[in-house]
Structure 1
Amino acid sequence: MPTRRSTVRTTTVHRSTTPSSSARRSSVRRAVLAVAVVALLAACSGDGGGGPGPTPSATTTTDAPSGSPGTTTPPPEPSPEPGLVVVPEVRVDVAEVATGLAAPWGLAALADGTLLVSLRDERALVVVDPATGAVEPVTGPGADDLRDGTVARGESGLLGVAVGPEDGAAPGEVFVHRTAPGGNEVLRGTLTGRELSALTPLVQGIPAASTHDGGRLAFGPDGFLYVTTGDAQQRGAAQDPGALAGKVLRVTVDGAPAPGNPDPASPVWSLGHRNVQGVAWDVTGRMLASEFGQDTFDELNVVVPGGNYGWPEVEGTGGAGAGFVDPVTTWATSDASPSGLAVTREAAYLAGLRGQALWRVPFASADGGASADAFGAPQALLTDRGRLRAVLVDPATPLGDDGSAALYVLTNNTDGRGEPRDGDDRLLRVTVTPAG
């Protein structure tokens, strides 16, 4: 299959002052709106509509017609301290790996270098070979269970997928998040070749609805499985510590509450979430999460154990005085609808659905941090690909000391809210390098 490549470059605009936390949050929102140059649309009730993505700034330079990044104010100058890398400007190279994927949702790497992709509405798993673009269906009793026992309605269906780390307690095991007749649930199975064994339920009874189902799975650096759940249209459940809706859960590979949870008897790691669809960790161990807002702000949060992120009492910033954790970055809901999340040494990358962009949020601190000052202003990349659902760091490409990285990105134009083009949906490989 021919490989289509394109190259784009983002250029940041330097400023001479360092704002306070509140000023930075305000400036981030103004910068995002200036870069996007789009009118605010109607309230986002779920993944958001298929409206236009951000429009590039006039100062953007483009090396090929297929990329349209935006430009915003930069983070502070790079710190000489070890740890995170601050890279204010990046060059992006894009290559198509696979096409013709039907409403892809989850994305995970297998030990043999191939990629496991979940197809939400078809209730199926496929394996993609990045070297050839070949797409193979997963078969076996587990695949039959996913097809026959999964309910695909609206935003529900076969959602997140994760693979047990090779150095963990369940190396190579496959974990899936799906909607069953009795609610959302997490299952585990063994993939041998392309055959999936019978599935074992780990976490069941997670509230489900046609929207706000969360659905992301990811293994943390501690070896435990993190599960994101939406409020499933039950707004009050997000504040109920006894409910599984509107939470980030942390469990063992057998589904038990993980040691060290805020409540040892509960899988709940954090609460007060509306609809988290992305979690990832940076090299300092800081946990980040991308979250859909409702009427005003989408969020990037630093997640801490036991943290309450305010929904439905607070959307966006302003909840710290009431004991809630404020987001570190926000977007208008028409600009983002952030789903998948990946983190490199120099930035967080969020896959935007309604915003139709890969949002890059550069780090502004070499040693992490949980305040807005630890993050630079967002930049919009890949604004010509339509809706984006998932992003994953390529495990076969080491993160460069200069901030370079390779990412896999899933488009999501066939999910019922986009405008599909010939060949959609696609798996893209995106290489990020410092511009110079």
Structure 2
Amino acid sequence: MKLLIPVLSILMLFSCTDNDSTSPDDKTPSDPSSQPVNQSRVVETLATQLDVPWQINIVEDTVYYLSGRPGEIIKIQDAAKESQTVDLTKGVVSETESGLLGFHIIDGSQEPLEAYLYHTYEDRGRLLNRVVKVKQEGSTWKETDILMEGIPGGPIHNGGRLAVGPDENLYITTGDAGESGLAQDRSSLAGKILRLNLDGSIPDDNPFAGSPVYSYGHRNPQGIDWTEDGKMYSSEHGSTGHDEINEIVSGGNYGWPVIQGDEEQEGMIEPLFHSGEDTWAPSGIAISGSKIYAAFLAGQQIREFDLDEKKSQTFTAGYGRMRDVEIVNGSLYAITNNRDGRGNPTPEDDRLLKFQLKE
């Protein structure tokens, strides 16, 4: 049976001067200051001079915890920043796109706080990724449990997003680690979206018995979220453009490296939206109603994808490389990544920004 989702190829209004088939995260097409700023949506700048933040967590609407790719947790409260350490049994390796990536606080109302954490480490000269559980002890997050180790890693394509779905399972995005063939190999953890019970065990209703693999054929997925009716969506870095927004279904094969863009293959799912020959380098996403908001690195904007109208438009731009977005109580929070070695940082970068959604 052929699994096809209608495709809409979006012609982007911004220019990308380089097309690097190794990693679209490399492409920063222009100086952020040269792009228009939609100041009407800005509520406030919540923090500045952050060190390459990666994933946003918001506790009780007023306290912000960000994972920092170099290997720290950044706490922001009442305009004050605190760098919190992580105490792990295996050290964080931050190299190009690797490091301390996904960070998901389990229940912000419980003290002490506990979270899931995804990070790169080195084992016998090889870069790998792991998912662990950590508990806050003062200004330190201490490892308390290992959920998964040995996820293929490398300087590029580590995936890294963590999220708990409406089914109360933990979802994990992994990249192909620069070895494209791993994405189609269901025995490999690379190039996948994984699904675990919250204790790290494999759910009985996963699509492949005894396997954490939920979907496969991914190049470098970096954002996941769900609509109110439980549909799951993901953003993904493509090759030489062809970045994607996908609807994720259990057991789905998303085609990498066999197909991309408008190409078709029996049993493989096409993207809902893709960038054609342009490059977005999409990272975190957040959903409000029927709209997906995606942070673009190379694309240097937050873009709004309307699932009902099957079209997209720029939500805001002018802040450089955008890494993650989160929506709470009608506001959209975003972090920049202009200090990741590929951007053009201002003295204020990196920043945590707050925007007002206009539904």
CA distance in 2, matches of 1:211, 1:428: 26
Aligned-partner residue type, residue 180 of structure 2 = R
Partner of 2:258: 313
Q: Tell me, what secondary structure is at the counterpart of 1:433?
A: coil
Partner of 1:48: 26
Residue pair 1:44, 1:334 contacting (<8 A) in 2 also: no
Please state if 1:432 is matched with 2:357. Answer: yes
Residue pair 1:251, 1:258 contacting (<8 A) in 2 also: yes
Aligned-partner residue type, residue 411 of structure 1 = T
Residues 188-215 of structure 1 show CA distances to partners (whole Å, capped at 9, x for unaligned) of: 0112453323342111000001000000
Please state if 1:181 is matched with 2:126. Answer: no
Residue pair 1:231, 1:274 contacting (<8 A) in 2 also: yes
CA distance in 1, matches of 2:34, 2:49: 28
What is the total number of aligned residue pairs between the two structures?
A: 350
Partner of 2:105: 163
Provide TM-score, normalisation by structure 2. Answer: 0.90
Matching of residues 400-419 of structure 1 within 5 Å: 405-419=330-344
Shift of 1:166: 6.3
Match of 1:216 among 146, 161, 165: 161
Residue pair 1:153, 1:210 contacting (<8 A) in 2 also: yes
Please state if 1:342 is matched with 2:286. Answer: yes
Q: Residues 167 and 273 of structure 1: is their aligned pair in 2 closer, same or farther, counting only changes over 3 Å?
A: farther
Aligned-partner residue type, residue 160 of structure 1 = G
Q: Tell me, what secondary structure is at the counterpart of 2:22?
A: coil
Please state if 1:356 is matched with 2:281. Answer: no
Residue pair 2:34, 2:318 contacting (<8 A) in 1 also: no
Partner of 1:133: 79
Q: Tell me, what secondary structure is at the counterpart of 2:26?
A: coil
Residues 52-92 of structure 1 show CA distances to partners (whole Å, capped at 9, x for unaligned) of: 289999xxxxxxx7328xxxxxxxxxxxxxxxxxxxxxx73
Please state if 1:289 is matched with 2:227. Answer: no
Residue pair 2:101, 2:161 contacting (<8 A) in 1 also: yes
Q: Tell me, what secondary structure is at the counterpart of 1:181?
A: strand
Please state if 1:232 is matched with 2:177. Answer: yes
Residues 265-313 of structure 1 show CA distances to partners (whole Å, capped at 9, x for unaligned) of: 1100000000000000011101000000011310000000000000000
Residue pair 1:269, 1:305 contacting (<8 A) in 2 also: yes
CA distance in 2, matches of 1:333, 1:165: 41
Residue pair 1:98, 1:427 contacting (<8 A) in 2 also: yes
Residue pair 2:33, 2:319 contacting (<8 A) in 1 also: no
Matching of residues 206-285 of structure 1 within 5 Å: 206-285=151-230
Q: Residues 410 and 223 of structure 1: is their aligned pair in 2 closer, same or farther, counting only changes over 3 Å?
A: same
Partner of 1:144: 87
Please state if 1:378 is matched with 2:312. Answer: yes
Residue pair 1:54, 1:335 contacting (<8 A) in 2 also: no
Q: Residues 102 and 54 of structure 1: is their aligned pair in 2 closer, same or farther, counting only changes over 3 Å?
A: closer
Residue pair 1:163, 1:171 contacting (<8 A) in 2 also: no
CA distance in 2, matches of 1:213, 1:317: 25
Shift of 1:145: 2.5
Residue pair 2:223, 2:283 contacting (<8 A) in 1 also: yes
Shift of 1:257: 1.2
CA distance in 1, matches of 2:31, 2:207: 39
Residues 325-359 of structure 1 show CA distances to partners (whole Å, capped at 9, x for unaligned) of: 11000114644110011111131000000000101
Partner of 2:55: 106
Q: RMSD value over aligned CA atoms?
A: 2.6
Partner of 1:124: 72
Structure 1 unmatched ranges of 5 or more: 1-20, 58-64, 69-90, 365-374, 398-404
Shift of 1:39: 5.3
Aligned-partner residue type, residue 37 of structure 2 = S
Partner of 2:321: 387
Partner of 1:3: none
Aligned-partner residue type, residue 326 of structure 1 = E
CA distance in 2, matches of 1:431, 1:424: 21
Shift of 1:318: 2.4
Runs of 4+, deviation exceeding 6 Å? 53-57
Partner of 2:37: 66
Which is greater in Rg?
A: 1
Q: Residues 346 and 185 of structure 1: is their aligned pair in 2 closer, same or farther, counting only changes over 3 Å?
A: same
Aligned-partner residue type, residue 289 of structure 2 = R
CA distance in 1, matches of 2:33, 2:137: 45
CA distance in 2, matches of 1:171, 1:344: 30
CA distance in 1, matches of 2:16, 2:335: 26
Aligned-partner residue type, residue 281 of structure 1 = W
CA distance in 1, matches of 2:280, 2:220: 13
CA distance in 1, matches of 2:34, 2:246: 25
Residue pair 1:310, 1:324 contacting (<8 A) in 2 also: yes
Provide TM-score, normalisation by structure 1. Answer: 0.75
Residue pair 1:118, 1:158 contacting (<8 A) in 2 also: yes
CA distance in 2, matches of 1:118, 1:191: 13
Residue pair 1:48, 1:334 contacting (<8 A) in 2 also: no
Partner of 2:348: 423
